Structure 1
Amino acid sequence: MMYKSYTVEEAKKKLEYYCAYQERCHDEVFQKLKELNMIPQAIDIIIVYLIENNFLNEERFACSFARGKFRIKQWGKKRITNELKARNISNYNINKALKEIPEEEYFETFQKLVAKEWEGNPESNIRKKKKKIMDFLLRKGYESNIVLDAVYSLPEK
């Protein structure tokens, strides 16, 4: 089976488009270059080029990722942190990204999720219902202390 090989210039162009289309982290770009069968030296050259020309910016990626996952999927800070760590994003950039989420909006979204789950859950056993809501909120990545507070404040009937 023949693999298409790319020159460094061709790969640069491909990756410029890849990074311009959507924010990317270094890991995604590295994987993409490996898929293009680029040698390690070429990968290094291309990644440096992309960073220097602002196609690749890990801080920008982290901030965009955090805003998007919070606003679109309503993820909590723990889930966002874990997902960024899985992409080898530095703690500095993770902390900067979490600052992109306004506290007030964070708690407002959290409260709406609690209310929506409470209303929408058909479970008649209150303890089971609370457990399901708690599990849901923890999966979403909300901090256990606020999840417990919210679930304990739900009505008993």
Structure 2
Amino acid sequence: MIELMILYVLLNHDLTMYAIHKRIKENFLAYTNPSFGAIKPALVRLEKQNSITSAKVMSGGGKLSIFYTITKDGLKELKKLLLKPLSQNPLQFMSDARVKISCLSFLDSEDCAEVLFDLKSNALLHLVNAENILSDEYTPLTFYQRIVLDNSICEYKNFISMIEGLEKDNAGNSK
């Protein structure tokens, strides 16, 4: 997800690593908060695959800054990352899905519909799994486990409802 967020924040501006970190926090802090230690290796990977370029610029005060720019290959990579199915791991799913949804404005409505369908399908799978565990009389659950599962079910239902609203909006925008 870090590469996706970096490419997304570079869409409108060339940025330094510090500014990339700041923009990621501004856009995604509610779901994730990558450290500089995660951003730097991701920038190196993106530059090696020609998704971004870097340029060293000397400021008026004599400070050297490195600015990163998204390339045409980077635009293709951003689209590829947005269309790539998410992990089946429920622990990662919700935060990764929120990041993806936050970046959907980059895609055309057909690709957006594909991503929303994939996210909704995964959310439905996780919802059914949680409901099955909760309703299985042979699975001994503590009070706390039941509360957590019930909360997860509510989260998935709300998430699915949000996606359905986004699907309607996207369908209206494609006409």
**Larger Rg over CA atoms:** 1
Kindly indicate which of the two structures has a greater share of residues assigned to strand: 2
Same fold (TM over 0.5): no
TM-score band, normalised by the shorter chain?
0.3 to 0.5
